Chain A
């Protein structure tokens, strides 16, 4: 019994609560920027993949297949070590800022491939007649995509996009590969502290709960939004 209580000693966890909150704040900053950027990248990719221009379709297909089939760690290492360090393509003279943006870019580029594929399946749910009607009143391809097809496609894939974003939030924990310190990095450095000899399990539980605080609302919100925005046919 004594031993069990020892294992569940949340003392060290709350002693370093500030560090943990800081870590989560870093995670949130990464996830929020990646959510916006991956949505943009995914929309462009989906547009490429249904475009009437063969070159754009090919670019979209190659991009999705490469990014979706490469481990995220590799993508992020490529960004930080390859592009930032070796090729010296930096966003800022401040190393941390530069790594942050590379982490955002790597994570968005990777997640964007999944967003694009979700959206493309959403485009397939929009009846062909919608596009024909759009063309018949004289809208151009890009107008009908922007005003008729994509708005309906987005509404159809809000719930699956929720899953993509939940996966993305959890994927932020790989950002250490881009030399960006978020909660998983903080957690690892805390575990290495001597004072944490007894507090590792509470630490893991605490961080897990922290992630759920981020991801559960994301899931509920996307489910609610999907119902609210559904297009009646």
Chain B
């Protein structure tokens, strides 16, 4: 159902993505700082995400993972430093920023499907209103995507009529419909029942196999091991360790990471 084989190719060709693709890293975060009042939530963060790379951000709650993820499409403004997406610095506000966000997909912990629209309308809204595609073309593509995430038969329902896992898969389809250059996942499975987690992770693994560039904030260590090329461990607003999944889980360099892993891997 959620396997990538035979599904439409989501990452290559067609959309605006193809025209602007360059060679450099897709997301570059440089010396980024961010405060919430007194609280220093991001401290001199540096991070590079290459094309086609899957970066998993893990770490204890309150460590700044979600804030970092959200700052990449400026849902959180930053106080200092620069963030480049596909070589361009994030615009401050207005139409320029909206254009950039269209190229950066975002999947939220709480799904955030538009509650007054059907699943199909949720998926076609961006392509029609932002990309100015025709309705027919958008609906055709939307149905392909919904089929890809395994909920084509739910297209005419409203978000509240779907299970959490189905809603999150619809939200992933909504992001994919914009043909984004990079997808951000902000704890996509944290609000789900255990048995729904897998259906969402399957879809994400499929995307990773197809070469989608992804930044994933998660507590799913299994996914990190399987799908990621890079693990970033964050605590207290800092990137404490950056490593390959294999190295990180078997032979972490820092004590802070070892301590964290010992707590979550023991049961």
A interface list, Cβ under 8 A from B: 52, 127, 129-130, 132-140, 143, 147-148, 151-152, 155, 231-233
CB nearest neighbor in B for A140: B98
User: Does B129 lie within 8 Å of A133, measured CB to CB?
Assistant: no
| Of A129, A143, A233, the contact of B108 (CB 8 Å cutoff) | A129
User: Does B130 lie within 8 Å of A137, measured CB to CB?
Assistant: yes
In the complex, what residues of B have CB within 8 A of residue A136's CB? 73, 75, 101, 104-106, 175
User: Does A139 lie within 8 Å of B108, measured CB to CB?
Assistant: no
In the complex, what residues of B have CB within 8 A of residue A52's CB? 93
In the complex, what residues of A have CB within 8 A of residue B55's CB? none
In the complex, what residues of A have CB within 8 A of residue B158's CB? 232
In the complex, what residues of A have CB within 8 A of residue B178's CB? 137-138
30 contacts between A and B (CB under 8 A): A52-B93, A127-B110, A129-B110, A129-B111, A129-B112, A130-B112, A130-B114, A132-B75, A133-B106, A133-B108, A133-B174, A135-B75, A136-B73, A136-B75, A136-B104, A136-B106, A136-B175, A137-B102, A137-B130, A138-B98, A138-B99, A138-B100, A138-B102, A138-B178, A140-B95, A148-B114, A231-B115, A232-B115, A232-B158, A233-B160
Known: A135-B75, A138-B102. A143 touches B112 (CB 8 A): no
Interface of B (DSSP majority class): mixed
In the complex, what residues of B have CB within 8 A of residue A143's CB? 129-130
In the complex, what residues of B have CB within 8 A of residue A132's CB? 75, 106, 108, 112
Kindly state whether residue B116 has any CB partner on chain A within 8 Å: yes
B interface list, Cβ under 8 A from A: 73, 75, 93-95, 98-106, 108, 110-116, 125-126, 129-130, 158, 160-161, 171, 174-175, 178
Number of A-B contacts (CB under 8 A): 74
CB nearest neighbor in B for A126: B115
Cα–Cα, bound, A133→B173 (Å): 13
**Highest count of chain B CB atoms <10 Å: which of A137, A231, A232:** A137
User: Does A135 lie within 8 Å of B115, measured CB to CB?
Assistant: no
Q: A20 to nearest B CB, angstroms?
A: 43
Cα–Cα, bound, A147→B99 (Å): 17
| Of B93, B103, B130, B161, the contact of A139 (CB 8 Å cutoff) | B130
Q: A148 to nearest B CB, angstroms?
A: 6
In the complex, what residues of A have CB within 8 A of residue B111's CB? 129
| Of A133, A135, A140, the contact of B114 (CB 8 Å cutoff) | A133
**Highest count of chain A CB atoms <10 Å: which of B101, B106, B115, B175:** B115
Top 5 closest A-B pairs, CB basis? A138-B102, A232-B160, A129-B112, A133-B112, A137-B126
Known: A232-B160, A233-B160. A137 touches B125 (CB 8 A): yes
In the complex, what residues of A have CB within 8 A of residue B75's CB? 132, 135-136
Q: B262 to nearest A CB, angstroms?
A: 34
In the complex, what residues of A have CB within 8 A of residue B98's CB? 135, 138-140
User: Does A137 lie within 8 Å of B174, measured CB to CB?
Assistant: yes
Cα–Cα, bound, A132→B126 (Å): 13
Q: A122 to nearest B CB, angstroms?
A: 12
Cα–Cα, bound, A168→B171 (Å): 42
Cα–Cα, bound, A188→B235 (Å): 77
Cα–Cα, bound, A152→B75 (Å): 21
CB nearest neighbor in A for B114: A148
User: Does A139 lie within 8 Å of B126, measured CB to CB?
Assistant: yes
Cα–Cα, bound, A77→B250 (Å): 81
Cα–Cα, bound, A86→B175 (Å): 59
CB nearest neighbor in B for A135: B101
